[in-house]
Structure 1
Amino acid sequence: MNQRRRPPRRLVNGVLMLDKPFGMSSNDALQKARRLLNAAKAGHTGTLDPMATGLLPLTFGEATKFSQTLLDADKGYIADVRLGVTTTTGDAEGELIEERSVLVSAAEIEQAFTSFTGEIDQIPPMFSALKRDGKPLYEYARAGIELERAPRRVSIYQLRLLSFSGDGFVMEVCCSKGTYIRTLAEDIGRVLGCGAHLRGLRRTSIGPFAVASAIDFERLEAAAEFEREGLLAPVDALLADLPIECLDPGETGILLNGGRLKRSATPAGRYRAYGPNGFIGLAELRADGFMVPLRLLSTQVQEEKA
């Protein structure tokens, strides 16, 4: 019996701003997008739990070199919190631990928010991908093992109550990287005296990117194969919040060969570097006035652009 052979993987460069659906792991979403694009190299910029939906930037080809910029970026969420019920995982997928009566008002919830605005310490949940001795914490948790975890300092820039229904509420969260919204929901429930867990979660933003401009799988699958790559943002979109440094042909050659450039009137910091043929990579202007390359597009991509 003849088997249909998969065409060889292609060199695809760019960023897919995916609106991840409910029930799919981040890795499953990545592999599905990679198949649809037939891409040779792919990665993501931080995971979303299967129960969460929303913005999940997926990087392909040369864009994987710049994923760290979004891993470090601030995040925005809409969180649906159930009051009066605590679970083993801190979300709706866990087993019931305890139920309590709920006698709180919207004003009391907003007052509780003040305790969690600014820099706070969070203890990471056992059901998380953080590793201990090379093994994710959730594997210990599934085996019934509770490990001591050191608190982590995170920043909550804004908590806003969007709705309140008596036994639950919906809040908007703007926070730093590393913030666990499940833990935040549990901690708010503890302060209110009734307990809580996360009933639903949607990531609405990462850095400068919003879910409103994201693409779902329905749209990606509906596009013809030759059109799908056109739905990707360019590689330099990941560095959109950095200033631009334009280089002449000679300067471009120096930077591409690992050299340094003298800059006297330019502030120190990181820059998107562009040569005559467009984006070449990420550069840093040091305090000594020299600009050096940090991450550059591959020679092959540079030749294709030329």
Structure 2
Amino acid sequence: MSAVGFTLGADAAQGGGAVPDRAASAAAPPRQRLQRRPVHGLLLLDKALGVSSNQALQRAKWLLRADKAGHTGTLDPLATGLLPLCFGAATKFSQLQLDADKVYEATLRLGVRTHGGDAEGEVLERRPVACSPEQVQQVLARFSGAIEQLPPMHSALKHQGRALYEYARAGLEVERAPRRVSIHVLELLALALEGPEPALRLRVHCSKGTYIRSLAEDIGAALGCGAHLSALRRLRSGSLGLERSLTLEQLEALPEVERLRALLPVDALLAGHERVTLDDDNAARFLTGLRRRGTWPDSERVAVYAASAASTEPAASAAAGPQPGALLGSAHIVGGELIPGRLLSPIEIQQITLQTQS
């Protein structure tokens, strides 16, 4: 699980104990092997409740017949919403999403503390909810801006090579150091202090490394009644939002050729980067990892493109070179020097061109 969101840890599934019928197995036709292919791009998935991030990734990978894929930070099975999935060359830039701010909609159940701080945990304590709307607003104001947060035991942070949730499952408590995170926006969307299940709903815009389950527990403690996270939905990750997302069911319902067209281009992960276009000679040298000189201003984040197809075309595949404007990779600029970061290979560039033309 990534450092943002709430984490229960890795899921494990175990099969049943039925003994296979060897004769029937021998008579059955061999299972057809899925033909994988190079797929490049970004899928904005709206993950459903109860599905792990890895399960969602593997299903999308199977539907696209992709040979390489990864996600940009997990969402717990109890969380829903935006899960950007990277395919092929897009995996080279997935770290940008891991480092990006996130936006969540979170529901806090007041008056009930649970083991692990979520709706599935064992109830540890029940307390009356006696706070007023004004007190809620005052407490929320205390959790806006830069705050110290203790990572939960049910998280994927490592201690001596093992994830914390492994210690938690074994009933062990590990000493953790508080971490400084930023809550850019903490907006109260709904509040119900009366009735059998008092709760509040928040919109949280936070930095990477923020644990929403810990935030829920800390807010409940500050209100004097305790709380746990009962629902979580990720709305945004960096510049990416749910607006162009698909569910697994929607992706599966598409014809195969349309599934590829549902992908965003690789450079969707480079939104906000300065754009630099190189001529044929400089593009070819840049792809080998060589720095280039120019009159560009300093910039920490640069997306580099080819001016024409010839600069990135593999000699053995001249008939199907990439289109002009092909993405070459990322870079940064210091003192007029373009310094390569993550680079695409000529083969990846050509495959992206062929995928775009299909």
TM over 0.5: yes
| Of 106-115 and 48-57, the range deviating more from structure 2 | 106-115
Number of the residue aligned with 2:148: 121
Number of the residue aligned with 1:191: 222
Quote the Cα distance in structure 2 between the aligned partners of 1:192 and 1:103.
9
Number of the residue aligned with 1:295: 342
Larger radius of gyration: 2
Q: Contact between 2:111 and 2:128, CA under 8 Å: does it hold in 1?
A: yes
Q: How many angstroms does 1:265 deviate by?
A: 4.1
Number of the residue aligned with 2:300: 269
Q: Supply the AA of the counterpart residue of 1:280.
A: L
Q: Contact between 2:298 and 2:332, CA under 8 Å: does it hold in 1?
A: no
Number of the residue aligned with 1:172: 203
Quote the Cα distance in structure 2 between the aligned partners of 1:82 and 1:264.
56
Residue 71 (structure 2) pairs with residue 48 (structure 1) = no
Q: How many angstroms does 1:263 deviate by?
A: 2.1
Match of 1:33 among 38, 60, 75: 60
Number of the residue aligned with 1:102: 129
Quote the Cα distance in structure 1 between the aligned partners of 2:229 and 2:50.
15
Quote the Cα distance in structure 2 between the aligned partners of 1:74 and 1:39.
28
Number of the residue aligned with 2:106: 79
Number of the residue aligned with 2:327: 279
TM (norm. structure 2) is 0.83
Quote the Cα distance in structure 2 between the aligned partners of 1:293 and 1:73.
21
Quote the Cα distance in structure 1 between the aligned partners of 2:138 and 2:108.
16
| Of 86-95 and 127-136, the range deviating more from structure 2 | 127-136
Q: How many angstroms does 1:197 deviate by?
A: 0.3
Residue 8 (structure 2) pairs with residue 8 (structure 1) = no
Number of the residue aligned with 1:211: 242
| Of 180-189 and 135-144, the range deviating more from structure 2 | 135-144
Q: Check 1:237–1:295 CA distance in 2 against 1; reply closer, same or farther (3 A cut).
A: same
Q: Supply the AA of the counterpart residue of 2:152.
A: P
Where does the alignment leave 5 or more consecutive residues of structure 1 unmatched? none
Q: How many angstroms does 1:253 deviate by?
A: 1.1
Number of the residue aligned with 1:130: 157
Quote the Cα distance in structure 2 between the aligned partners of 1:272 and 1:143.
46
Quote the Cα distance in structure 2 between the aligned partners of 1:197 and 1:7.
43
Give the alignment's Cα RMSD to 1 decimal: 1.2
Q: How many angstroms does 1:269 deviate by?
A: 2.1
Where does the alignment leave 5 or more consecutive residues of structure 2 unmatched? 1-27, 309-323
Q: Contact between 2:216 and 2:227, CA under 8 Å: does it hold in 1?
A: yes
Q: How many angstroms does 1:142 deviate by?
A: 1.1
Q: Contact between 2:274 and 2:299, CA under 8 Å: does it hold in 1?
A: no
| 1:117-174: CA deviation from partner (whole Å, max 9, x where unpaired) | 1111100000111111111111111111011101111000010100011111101000
Quote the Cα distance in structure 2 between the aligned partners of 1:149 and 1:172.
27
Q: Contact between 2:287 and 2:345, CA under 8 Å: does it hold in 1?
A: no
Quote the Cα distance in structure 2 between the aligned partners of 1:31 and 1:7.
13
Quote the Cα distance in structure 2 between the aligned partners of 1:223 and 1:217.
10
TM (norm. structure 1) is 0.97
Number of the residue aligned with 1:144: 171
Q: Check 1:265–1:33 CA distance in 2 against 1; reply closer, same or farther (3 A cut).
A: closer
Q: Supply the AA of the counterpart residue of 1:137.
A: L
Secondary structure, aligned partner of 1:16? strand
Q: How many angstroms does 1:8 deviate by?
A: 2.2
Quote the Cα distance in structure 1 between the aligned partners of 2:133 and 2:277.
52
Secondary structure, aligned partner of 1:67? helix
Percentage identity across paired residues of the two chains: 52
Quote the Cα distance in structure 2 between the aligned partners of 1:193 and 1:303.
60
Q: Contact between 1:268 and 1:289, CA under 8 Å: does it hold in 2?
A: no
The count of residues paired between Structure 1 and Structure 2 equals 305
